[in-house]
Amino acid sequence: MTELTQTKPGATAEENVYRGVYRVLLAGMFISSALFAVGLGLALVRPEHYPLGADWVRSHYHFASIWQGLRTFDPFTLMLVATALLILTPVLRVIVSIWAFAVDHDWKYVVVTSIVFVVIVLSVVLSHFGLK
């Protein structure tokens, strides 16, 4: 295994970061794809009319309603959760990168990557307070 890794060009100092990033991306892809597939399958078995309005979509944003939807295998809720997980994958990738650069004592890149994380947080704060 070590030999295999060493043959890869460019695989030197940042090996931790490369491996961490790879795992997060793969996990995010598989989990959200599986949820999308189940949600889609169920939606086709139980066809429904889905309105395109933003207010209708936002009316589902409550923990109680999401929990209820997951327990009853509601297709719309499954697709909502898959979307949320998909969006969180790159966010998690950034967090893992910060950690991996810190393990490598590469402080310059801990700072660079943390700035990216701050922008993500800013987008949540802005949409929470700014978009009504």
Partner 1 sequence: MEYSLHFVLALLGAAGCAGFFGALLGVGGGVFIVPVMVLIFKLPIKVAVAASIVSVIATSNAGGSSYVDQRITNLKLAMFLEIATTIGALTGALLAIYLQQWIMLIIFAVMLAYMSYAAYATRNVDDRKIASGEFGNAKQDRLSRYLALQGSYHDVAANRDVEYVINGAPIGATISYLAGMASGLLGVGGGVLKVSAMNGYMNVPMKVAVGTSKLMIGVTAAVSSILFFLAGLIHFSVVAPVALGTTIGATIGTMVMNRLHSSKLKWIFTLLMAYLAYGMLAKGLALRFGIHLPSLGA
Q: Does 99 bind partner 1 (CB under 8 A)?
A: no
Element (H, E) at 15: helix 15-45
CA 92, CA 7: separation in Å to the nearest integer? 28
At residue 59, the 3 state secondary structure works out as coil
Nearer to partner 1, 53 or 71 (CB): 53
Contacts of 101 (CB under 8 A, 6+ apart): 17, 107, 109, 110, 113
Nearer to partner 1, 52 or 64 (CB): 52
Q: Which residue of 49, 71, 72, 105 would you call a contact of partner 1, by CB under 8 A? A: 49
Taking CB under 8 A as the rule, which mask of x and - marks residues 7-36 in contact with partner 1? -xxxx--x--xx--xx--xx-xx--xx--x
Nearer to partner 1, 54 or 64 (CB): 54
For the beta carbon of residue 101, count every other beta carbon within 10 angstroms. 22
Q: Are 25 and 86 in contact, with CB atoms under 8 Å apart? A: no
Nearer to partner 1, 19 or 64 (CB): 19
Half-sphere exposure for 45 (CA within 13 Å, toward CB):
10
Binding site for partner 1 (CB under 8 A): 8-11, 14, 17-18, 21-22, 25-26, 28-29, 32-33, 36-37, 39-40, 43-44, 47-58, 61, 75-76, 79-80, 82-84, 86-91, 93-94, 97, 108-109, 112-113, 115-116, 119-120, 122-124, 126-128, 131
